């Protein structure tokens, strides 16, 4: 009986720990990427200091690309505000990042019930430092 009293709390703690360490990752999408590879997955956020990727859904690809560009601009503003930057005006940031945003690419797309889901990736030399500009 005594060992049962000790075992139950230990099992509860183990169960709690096991459940808390498992995360459902919604930041990647499998499907067919722009190179036609059906097996690859793509992650959002930073891939390296030069590459940033977002995931958006819209009714068509043009709207999704526009939404992705806007999401990236909002992410830059959020990072700069958090870092205490004086460069937080979205119109200024839009002109500052005009090149990388226009050169961005859809690296994966998938048609779903809500419309098209795309991963949109921008690249530029030392992009992360530009995001974090003070």
Q: Tens of pLDDT along 85-127?
A: 999 898 899 999 999 999 999 999 999 888 999 999 999 999 9
Number of domains observed in the structure of the chain: 1
- Does the residue 1 lie in any domain? no
- Does the residue 111 lie in any domain? yes
Q: What is the pLDDT of residues 30-79, one digit of tens each?
A: 444 444 444 468 899 999 999 999 999 999 999 999 999 999 999 999 99
The chain-wide mean pLDDT, for the chain, equals: 79
- Does the residue 20 lie in any domain? no
Residue 10 pLDDT > 70: no
- Does the residue 5 lie in any domain? no
Q: Is the pTM of this model over 0.75?
A: no
- Does the residue 3 lie in any domain? no
Is-contact 65 121, C-beta < 8 A?
no
pLDDT for the residue 9: 56
- Does the residue 12 lie in any domain? no
Q: What is the pLDDT of residues 61-71, one digit of tens each?
A: 999 999 999 99
| pLDDT band of 134, cuts 50, 70, 90 | confident
State the residue range of the domain holding 117. Answer: 48-129
């Amino acid at each position: 009986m005594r060992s049962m009293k000790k075992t139950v709390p230990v099992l509860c703690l183990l169960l709690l720990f096991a459940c808390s360490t498992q995360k459902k990752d919604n930041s990647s999408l499998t499907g067919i990427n722009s190179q036609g590879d059906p097996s690859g997955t793509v992650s959002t956020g930073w891939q390296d200091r030069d590459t940033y990727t977002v995931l958006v859904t819209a009714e068509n690809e043009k709207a999704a690309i526009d939404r992705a560009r806007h999401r990236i601009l909002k992410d830059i503003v959020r990072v700069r505000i958090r870092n205490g930057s004086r460069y937080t005006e979205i119109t200024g940031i839009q002109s500052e990042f005009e090149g990388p945003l226009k050169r961005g690419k859809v690296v994966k797309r998938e048609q779903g019930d809500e419309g098209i889901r795309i991963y949109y990736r921008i690249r530029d030399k030392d992009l992360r430092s530009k995001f974090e500009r003070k």
